[in-house]
Amino acid sequence: MDINVPEVKVPRIVIVGCGFGGLQLAKSLHKAEAQIVLIDKNNYHTFQPLLYQVATAGLEADSIAYPIRKIFKGQYNFHFRWGEVQKIIPAENRIVTSIGELKYDHLVIATGSTTNFFGNKDFEDKAIPMKSVVEALNLRSMVLQNFEKALLTTDTKDLEALMNFVVVGGGPTGVELAGALCELKRHVLPNDYPELDFRKMRIILMENGAELLASMAEGNRDKARKYLEELGCEVWTKTGLAKYNGTLAETNNGKQLLTLNLIWAAGVKGVLIDGLLPTCISNRGRFFVNDYCRIKGYDNIYALGDVAVMISDKYPNGHPQVAPVAIQQAEMLGSNFIKALKGWTLNKFDYFDKGTMATVGRNKAVVEVGKIRFGGFLGWFAWMFLHLILLVGYRNKIVVFINWVWSYFNYDRNIRLIIRPFNRK
């Protein structure tokens, strides 16, 4: 069965995935003489940088998600289909999806990334990831459920496991999540559960490398660690997770810890689609692409964002898997599609690094823009401003801003809801 998309006489560009890259590409082609078909397994775009705030009751899920059809309302050359692409058949310029098959003239893979457990089945089954809205809501439910259980237990070891939180991975996601958990411990949870002794609640950030935020400058790495420790987080560097059975975590340097709250933020890998040659896939699960985002070995199949790796002298391991890379690649690719239709010379991708940032908590953030580095309140304000600007939809911007202002002055997070009980695998 074919997907019901109108047949037209202009080229059909099929985009798989509506993350930052897919969204920007479809927008940039709004005036192109081409038919744009966007396919995604969700009917909404997710602003992933704020998932941790959904997980820690700072924001509701619909504050960081926006309906795809509403984004592209009025774009005459655009069609959206809700489904999952299962296979590519390059010889026939055709894709197989959960809702049927579709021919393409150009195919763009913008499926993003998913959690990488590095082949460890125990971690995959028992740790909690946070790469989607569903996973963030699961994490929120798990946190609140375990405190409800803690009220009922009289066993010391059970209480310890329920009140110990371990975040594995010292990148921006791990740092921001650990900071948010610390603020819950200090300002919110003691008011909800006055019967519990929150001196027994431990929040541990575990990083296998020597430093947190390895991609940032040394001063900011140190500052982030200082902020976390001021909030009460235990930072374990040069420490990796060796074993986890769902209750007992063991590290590679002999430490043991009882916890039912182990959150995995230690790595990502590309979301691949079957059908392409193994030689075009890196050992980190990303498609090799050239300077034009074209996948190695194919003339009309492209990849961008987290699922693509573009090797260069400046980036021997590919570009960082962050939103600005995906957005800039999408802008370049969209411009090149329009130029190709007109017979013009195409542009090569040249990444402009606008800087990096991470927030640790209230009035605590670290920012780098070139050689300019700052933190504290100014960094925190810059982080908030940028994320508000990048959010899709005016309603979402307003709702998030109001939530942040309310939380800032009231030290509160109102969305402490167990919408659906989370059941561990």
Residues 160, 176, 183, 368: which is the catalytic one?
Answer: 176
Whole-number Å distance between alpha carbons of 221 and 223: 5
362 touches 21 (CB < 8 A): no
What is residue 73's three-state secondary structure?
Answer: coil
All structural domains of the chain: 12-115+268-342 (3.50.50.60), 121-266 (3.50.50.100)
The per-residue pLDDT for 329 is 97
pLDDT tens, residue by residue, 106-146 = 999 999 999 999 989 999 999 999 999 999 999 999 999 99
Whole-number Å distance between alpha carbons of 409 and 420: 29
pLDDT tens, residue by residue, 317-341 = 999 999 999 999 999 999 999 999 8
Whole-number Å distance between alpha carbons of 363 and 348: 40
Q: Which two tokens stand for residue 222?
A: 């140190």
pLDDT tens, residue by residue, 344-390 = 999 999 999 988 999 999 999 999 988 899 999 999 999 999 999 99
pLDDT tens, residue by residue, 63-73 = 999 999 999 99
Mean pLDDT confidence for 151-164? 95
241 touches 206 (CB < 8 A): yes
Q: Is 46's pLDDT higher than 90?
A: yes
pLDDT tens, residue by residue, 219-263 = 999 999 999 999 999 999 999 999 999 999 999 999 999 999 999
The per-residue pLDDT for 342 is 86
**Average pLDDT taken over every residue of the chain:** 93
User: Running DSSP on this structure, what letter comes out for residue 48?
Assistant: G
Whether residue 176 lies in the annotated active site: yes
The per-residue pLDDT for 164 is 97
The per-residue pLDDT for 37 is 97
3-state secondary structure 373-399: EEEHHHHHHHHHHHHHHHCCCHHHHHH
What is residue 130's three-state secondary structure?
Answer: coil
The per-residue pLDDT for 1 is 65
C-alpha dist (Å) from residue 345 to 11, 221, 333, 336, 368: 18, 43, 13, 8, 35
Q: Is 35's pLDDT higher than 80?
A: yes
Q: What is the pTM of this model?
A: 0.94
For residue 239, which of 222, 255, 263 has the smallest C-alpha distance? 255
Q: Is 410's pLDDT higher than 80?
A: yes
Q: What percent of the chain has pLDDT over 90?
A: 88
Mean pLDDT confidence for 133-161? 94
Whole-number Å distance between alpha carbons of 179 and 185: 10
Q: Which helix (H) or strand (E) holds 157?
A: helix 156-163
Q: Is 396's pLDDT higher than 60?
A: yes
The per-residue pLDDT for 419 is 83
pLDDT tens, residue by residue, 274-320 = 999 999 999 889 999 999 999 999 999 999 999 999 999 999 999 99
Whole-number Å distance between alpha carbons of 302 and 296: 9
